[in-house]
Amino acid sequence: MTIDVHSGGYRCCDGINRRSFLRTGALMLGGMSLSGLLRRQALAAAAGEARKDVSVILFWQGGGPSQLDMWDMKPDAPSEFRGSFNPISTNLDGLQVCEHMPRIAKVCDKLSLLRSVTHGDSGHESATHTLLTGYKPTNDIPANEAPAYGSIVAKEMGPRVDGFPAYVAVPTAPKSSAAAYLGVAYNPFETQGDPNNENFSVQNLKVPGGLTLDRLENRRNILSHFDTLRRDIDSSGLIGGMDTFAQQAYEIVTLAESAGRIRHQQGRPQNARPLWPHFVGTKYLAGPPVDRSGCAFCHRECGRLGYPCE
Amino acid sequence: MRESACECERSYAPNLSQILHLMNSPELQKKIANDKGRLAGMLKDNKPDEQILNEFYLRSFSRNPHPDELKDATAMLASAKDRKSALEDFEWMFLNSKEFIFNH
């Protein structure tokens, strides 16, 4: 395991432990299933309990196409400022977009376009930090000095379905998209693979061959009995974060197993994929609704070579 | 065209993927249960539980077990239905423990 000793500054936070404790309690009430979770949420909704619900997909085009070639053509600017493409009219009066986005042009009445969001920073890493956290970093190649939006959502709102990571990055997360002083527990979970690939699946969700969920639970019981490294001597908060991950990992595996069983009973292929925010490629935007996913905030890398947005 | 924005953007902080790998990966499970693995070798040599546990403690934590640790562990192993599986579960525990991950 590689641990970053340079960034430092992580602090553990009360909220983590309290929530982990509550979840542990709930899990102990007898092997919670996905259907059980959904039923509980439905009951809460029926009882009129307010439920915070956030669902954000951030398409992060690091090194992607320029706004001059997409959203803000500046057709009246001198030619040396304009791009080489032409603007077209949209279904929203007064708004023009690039000629290469004809389908976007038909739904512009559904969009909010912020042309005022800007920065004067030509450094990739520092500008990424500014835009993902709202804070200009103090170094040219910054550590994650302030929490990213997704981490704040993860801490304040939690996941949309219990047991999911609240904050997911597809396929990977830039350094600035992390939780900084909120603690590593609110860093994004990276799916690693690209969900648009046919063979995509999130690694290590299925209990490996020869093991059962019961045995995994037994292992966790042994672990909690014998792993007594003192948490209070760790001022970095990393150990507290790892405890949260261990709890999350167990919950995700439990969810994936029960969802796999449900799908198997329905005669559909056994595969953890539909649990995951595979809609985050644009090709899925018109397909399954966002509420198929349990995460609240999804950071989608799509500007880099190899992870194109279709 | 750049392949990625910058290597320095990669994060090496501990994360959920690493924990999932340690907890639930087929690779690790295969190694733990391997016929030619360390545990299989010690079982073949008819080593008693106590000696196997000592070996695990030294190899993963670089220390001997405390007497109460050894007492609890041998009691748990004695009551296990399947000795080999139970010892595998202990091996998993060592690899997933904070004492191993953070100290060694």
β-strand partners of B22: none
For the segment A143-165, what is each residue's pLDDT rounded down to a tens digit? 889 999 999 999 988 887 777 78
Residue A13: pLDDT above 80?
no
For residues B2 and A137, the model is more confident at A137
Which residue of chain A has the CA closest to B27? A208
DSSP string, chain A: ----SSS------HHHHHHHHHHHHHHHTS---HHHHHHHHHHHHHTT-------EEEEE-TT---GGGTT---TTS-TTTS-SS-EEE-SSTT-EEETT-TTGGGSGGG----TT-------HHHHHHHHHHSS--SSSS----S--HHHHHHHHT--SSTTS-SEEEES---GGGS-GGG-GGGSPEE--S-TTSTT---TT-SPPTT--HHHHHHHHHHHHHH----GGG-TTSHHHHHHHHHHHHHHHHHHHHHHHHHHHHTTPPP-SGGGS-GGGSGGGTTSS-GGGS--SEEEEE-SSTT----
Cβ-Cβ contacts under 8 Å, A245 against chain B? 14-16, 18-19
Cα gap A158→A15, rounded to integer Å: 11
By Cβ distance, the residue of A3, A165, A174 closest to B9 is A174
Residue B6 and residue A124: Cβ atoms within 8 Å? yes
What's the mean pLDDT in A214-232? 84
Q: What is the pLDDT of residues B26-52, one digit of tens each?
A: 999 999 999 999 999 999 999 999 999
Q: What average pLDDT does the segment A288-308 reach?
A: 59
pLDDT band at B70 (very low <50, low <70, confident <90, very high): very high
Distance CA A128, CA A308 (A): 18
Band the pLDDT of A41: cuts 50, 70, 90: low
For residues A52-65, average pLDDT: 76
Q: Does B55 touch chain A (CB under 8 A)?
A: no
Confidence band, pLDDT 50/70/90 cuts, at residue A132: very high
Report chain B's mean pLDDT, rounded to a whole number.
86
Q: Assess whether pLDDT exceeds 50 at residue A199.
A: yes
Residues of B in contact with A171 (CB under 8 A): none
pLDDT for B7 equals 44
B85: number of Cβ within 10 Å: 15
Q: What are phi and psi of B25, to 5 degrees?
A: -85, 140
Is the minimum CB–CB distance between B76 and chain A shorter than 8 Å? yes
| Residue A48 CB contacts under 8 Å (≥ 6 apart), including other chains | none
Question: pTM, whole model, 2 decimals?
Answer: 0.67
The distance of B26 to chain A (nearest Cα, Å) reads 5
Joined together, the tokens standing for residue A40 give 């509980």
Cα separation, B1 vs B12, whole angstroms: 25
State whether B9 and A128 contact (CB < 8 Å).
Answer: yes
Confidence check: pLDDT of A309 > 60 = no
| A124:B4 CB<8 A | no
Average pLDDT taken over every residue of chain A: 70
Percent of chain A whose predicted confidence (pLDDT) is above 70:
62
Summarize the confidence of residues A208-218 as an average pLDDT. Answer: 87
Identity of the residue numbered A150: G
User: Residue B90 above 50 pLDDT?
Assistant: yes
Question: What does the buried/exposed string (b/e) look like for A130-152 if buried means 16 or more CB atoms within 10 Å of the residue's CB?
Answer: bbbbeeebeeeebbbbbbbbbbb
Average pLDDT over residues A225-235: 72
Q: Which residues of B touch A230 (CB under 8 A)?
A: none
Q: Which of A20, A206, A223 to mutate to test the interface with B (most CBs of B within 10 A)?
A: A223
Contact: A205, B23; criterion CB under 8 Å:
no
Least CB–CB distance from A209: residue in B6, B17, B26: B26
The predicted pLDDT at position A253 comes to 80
CA distance A16 to A240: 8
